[in-house]
Structure 1
Amino acid sequence: MSFPILSVMLLVPALAAVGCLFLSPGGARWLALAATLVDLLLGVLLWVGFDNAGAQWQYQEYSPVFGRFAWALGIDGIALMLIMLSVFLMPICIAASWDAIEKRVPEYMAAFLLMETLMIGVFAAQDMFLFYIMFEAGLIPMYLIIGIWGGAERIYASYKFFLYTLLGSVVMLVAMLWMVREAGTSSIPELMAYDFPPQAQTWLFLAFFASFAVKMPMWPVHTWLPDAHVQAPTAGSVILAGVLLKMGGYGFIRFSLPMFPEASAQLFWLVMGLSMVAVVYASLVALVQSDMKKLIAYSSVAHMAFVTIGLFAFNRQGLEGSVMMMLSHGLISGALFLCVGVIYDRLHTREIARYGGLADIMPKYALFFLLFTMGSVGLPGTAGFIGEFLSLIGAYRANSWVAFVCTTGIILGAAYMLYLYARVVYGKVKSDEVAAMPDLSARELALVVPLALAVLWMGIYPESFLAPMRRDIGLLVARVERAYPQGDAHLMARVGAPAAAAPAAHGTEH
């Protein structure tokens, strides 16, 4: 395709960000909304034009810059889905900030537009150094959004967010420089097919793990996330949970698994152990939270652990489940933070104990909040179900104990989300201020309805999301198959089978 659609998708919000700085607050709002809607339209064209049966890498662009560094863009099905998630959430974030942000509005809109540019750049980059620049530069607008427009403890939260995520990535840059010297290229597609020495893979894996684990975030380097969510404005929390956390999972898919398959298998229990702790620990911590945002933040830590468990299950179901989990969590967690923002704008508190009885006062709000709560729990027919289900199947095929622990996390997840919903929506009205809260406005309905439709669409017809990335996941499975770690579930499946049948069983389960 001759039209450089990916470059245009990067250019539109970048130019609009500059333009916002020279406009009035009202003009900046409209320009930001227009730019994000243009990118959403381009994203739809990207999806419609993507050939599921065509080449692995499509919409490729290449322009040498200097040395081995090049402006190299292109997407596969996995990157396509994550770009669509980004461009879908961004207009909602702009509209959610319409009335809530009153100070330095042009700068705020510029920061969000710059973030959109960098997020799309991360998923579209095909040069490793271009990926690194986009990956790290994304810290800057989020740091500013938390630090300038956040809550009372915003400075502490923004510094903690910045330092955690930056320090984890310094080691990754050193590893990238060694890889380019070793392989003689900085092209990500070429590096995905390059066989690095097994003895070097472990160190390279750990260097990338230091960055991606913080970004996910995995236990125990998750502590920056609750602070960042609590202090960030509503739209900042939506985009942080919706897209920025997915960059760590995308990094595992794009770098760790295909480039270091032997090391990924060798460190299987490191990843699984941390993920199992995260599922149970974060769920238990979420149960005792009194702040709604903090509860949803800890639920994100638990849900993102399902992503790493699915990724390192080394089978198709686990990998498909992890990507679907990233997409569904982006929609559902973003919607839940939006729901918190709606009532925060009315009562200016996130304390659960201050609410109650909203089912009678705000029935429309209660209905949408219920849908997103059920999605977070993983109710069949919602987006949350398919990702959790596939991830659990993949985990069981890898190791039955991992699947058992993760299943307890699902039960705990239902407990803390339903407990939150019951305290906020049911019961008696606590005060006159709560009784006076109006139901969803037309603007707020315009925010939650698209999210609700997307959550139901993904839950009822997940094939439309799985189809573009099925071939790419198959190629990734074939790449890591040689290092496939054997778990107890595989051994138990072969009890009583003839010895000669074992190799065939191993080959067919992919």
Structure 2
Amino acid sequence: MSLLVWVLMLPVFGIFLLLFVPSWNHKLILSTALQVSLITFFISLLLWIQFDSSTSLFQFTESFTLVEHTVKQPQYSTLSFIVGIDGISLFFIILTTFLIPVCILVGWTSIKVYVKEYCIAFLLLETLIIAVFSVLDLLLFYVFFESVLIPMFLIIGVWGSRERKIRAAYQFFLYTLFGSVLMLLALLLIYFQTGTTDLQILYTTQFSETRQILLWLAFFASFAVKVPMVPVHIWLPEAHVEAPTAGSVILAGILLKLGTYGFLRFSIPMFPYASIYFTPLVYTLSIIAIIYTSLTTLRQVDLKKIIAYSSVAHMNFVTIGLFSLNAQGIVGSILLMISHGLVSPALFLLVGVLYDRHKTRLLRYYAGCGRTMPLFGIIFLFFTMANISLPGTSSFIGEFLVLTGAFQSNSFVALMAATGMVLGAAYALWLCNRVIYGVAKPYYISTFSDISRKEFFMFLPFIIAVIWMGFLPEPFLDVLHCSVANILQHGVIQ
């Protein structure tokens, strides 16, 4: 078996192990889940070490036949479980395996009920997300793409922090499921035209212009909800506020990337004519989302909602880069997705640190945290700077390339997107100023301790990764170039 199959199956093995651990032994449950997730992470790093960046072909491929075409059963075509990765999916798999141990660590003391089920939900989520990024069959992609909803629905609904968690869980589930129904119909149309759902064959298949437009719209309905784009973004702030800290970490870090990954993997290479045709639509929706959600962020009073709305703005910045349809824009979008997968989870972890100590996320209760929590203040300031793409942090490289690509495609769109950067700096710096600086409020209890050693070592890998990407992006760029060129060469996109 290839390394990729090991990465895919290890969390399943961890779930099997947890079934035999007594439910009352919380420490053993958490340590078992943590060890399995860390082993998975280190094996995923081996994928990067052994990855050949000089080719655009899928690597570490494995194929398992699920349904085989026979003379006795002519109505069935061959359905194979094919997995493989290129430079694009490699980093999303590593990001997934990096964040799952963090999610388990976050729940070490805060999760008191159903601890075994909590760990099983995150290990199952890990397997499903890795499958989404590695499977090379359109039908199986759809299956795993939708299956991710189930553990996330439970994480929000069972371990959420407030009374509205059930409503938020259903809202998240129904919004994302509704959009995907159209994608299923499109998938059936593709199957009946081509007789296959193998992605590598579909890349070489030509669809008529009318059919491309219909299929692109159906896929867009599914992926736009996941990004999320305006006006189907309402579920995201609600889900973030009600989810536990670990749920917000994985939601911001990985699940928001599924929509943009879908655009990159399917919509752009399979329907190139429709992608060019609908580029003005995507640009318009993205600019509206960037400006509207940035202005909305300025008037939020809940710490989690501020970061959630800023995530919408950042992900719509990504879609502008993707639909610039040139190498700079697409590479910048991928780097920005990876950076957002580091910075946004770190900010949610920082909000979780405050919530664990003060039991509130309302902004008006916080001021002068830098006096009583100096180390927390420094880390919060660092990730605020990373969130506004300060040069030297990971987001700067991505946003610079996105704007370069967008300017080549449409200079007006690049100008409007840049206004989102100004508004982003406004809400991020204002938030940092109100939380860290100033005079402590009369009801602010000043005896709470700074971040613990465990919390510091949880933030340290995020800090190292953000600085590494900011100062030395070449290892990431080298892996991405061939894969992005391969995406662009399909169809009429040059």
| Smaller-chain TM-score bracket | over 0.9
Q: Which runs of 4+ in 1 moved over 6 A?
A: none
Match of residue 136 from structure 1:
146
- Equivalent positions of 1:285-434 (< 5 A) are 285-431=296-442, 433-434=444-445
Distance 1:184 1:274 in 2: 34
1:450-498 deviations in Å (ceiling 9; x for gaps)? 0011111111111111111111111222225x25xxxxxxxxxxxxxxx
Distance 1:464 1:345 in 2: 37
Query: Aligned letter for 2:416?
Result: V
Match of residue 25 from structure 1:
26
Assess if the C-alpha contact under 8 Å between 2:395 and 2:470 holds in 1. yes
1:426-466 deviations in Å (ceiling 9; x for gaps)? 00112465311211101101110100111111111111111
Decide which moves more: 410-419 or 428-437. Answer: 428-437
Match of residue 232 from structure 1:
243
Assess if the C-alpha contact under 8 Å between 2:389 and 2:399 holds in 1. yes
Match of residue 7 from structure 1:
5
Q: Tell me which of 180, 203, 213 is aligned to 1:202.
A: 213
Assess if the C-alpha contact under 8 Å between 1:243 and 1:330 holds in 2. yes
Query: Aligned letter for 1:392?
Result: L
Decide which moves more: 239-248 or 170-179. Answer: 170-179
Assess if the C-alpha contact under 8 Å between 1:18 and 1:110 holds in 2. no
Query: Aligned letter for 1:159?
Result: Y
1:193-212 deviations in Å (ceiling 9; x for gaps)? 22111110000000000110
How much does 1:19 deviate? 2.8
Change (3 A) 1:324 1:55: closer
3-state SS of paired residue (1:440): coil
Match of residue 70 from structure 2:
none
The two structures have a TM-score, normalised by structure 2, of: 0.96
Query: Aligned letter for 1:107?
Result: E
Distance 1:30 1:228 in 2: 28
Match of residue 106 from structure 1:
116
The two structures have a TM-score, normalised by structure 1, of: 0.93
Assess if the C-alpha contact under 8 Å between 2:18 and 2:120 holds in 1. yes
Assess if the C-alpha contact under 8 Å between 1:68 and 1:186 holds in 2. no
Query: Aligned letter for 1:25?
Result: H
Match of residue 439 from structure 1:
450
Change (3 A) 1:55 1:316: closer
Counting matched residue pairs gives 481
Assess if the C-alpha contact under 8 Å between 1:310 and 1:318 holds in 2. yes
Distance 2:279 2:409 in 1: 10
Percent of aligned pairs with the same amino acid: 49
Decide which moves more: 22-31 or 450-459. Answer: 22-31
Gaps spanning 5+ residues in structure 1: where?
484-509
1:72-112 deviations in Å (ceiling 9; x for gaps)? 10000000011011111111111111111111100011000
Assess if the C-alpha contact under 8 Å between 1:280 and 1:408 holds in 2. yes
Assess if the C-alpha contact under 8 Å between 1:304 and 1:326 holds in 2. yes
3-state SS of paired residue (1:97): helix
Distance 2:165 2:13 in 1: 28
1:209-246 deviations in Å (ceiling 9; x for gaps)? 01100001111100000000000000100000000000
3-state SS of paired residue (1:70): strand
Q: Tell me which of 267, 270, 273 is aligned to 1:262.
A: 273
How much does 1:131 deviate? 0.9
Assess if the C-alpha contact under 8 Å between 1:331 and 1:451 holds in 2. yes
Distance 2:109 2:233 in 1: 31
1:234-282 deviations in Å (ceiling 9; x for gaps)? 0100000000000111100110000000001111111110000000000
Assess if the C-alpha contact under 8 Å between 2:56 and 2:486 holds in 1. no
Distance 1:307 1:17 in 2: 34
Match of residue 85 from structure 1:
95
Distance 2:19 2:159 in 1: 16
Distance 1:111 1:25 in 2: 15
Distance 1:190 1:232 in 2: 40
Assess if the C-alpha contact under 8 Å between 1:20 and 1:107 holds in 2. no
Query: Aligned letter for 1:26?
Result: K
Distance 1:210 1:68 in 2: 28
Q: Tell me which of 167, 174, 184 is aligned to 1:173.
A: 184
- Equivalent positions of 1:30-41 (< 5 A) are 30-41=31-42
Distance 2:10 2:444 in 1: 43
3-state SS of paired residue (1:435): coil
Match of residue 104 from structure 2:
94
Distance 2:204 2:317 in 1: 27
Distance 1:225 1:419 in 2: 22
3-state SS of paired residue (2:357): helix
Query: Aligned letter for 1:28?
Result: I
Gaps spanning 5+ residues in structure 2: where?
68-76
1:21-71 deviations in Å (ceiling 9; x for gaps)? 442322210111011101101111110000111451100001110143211
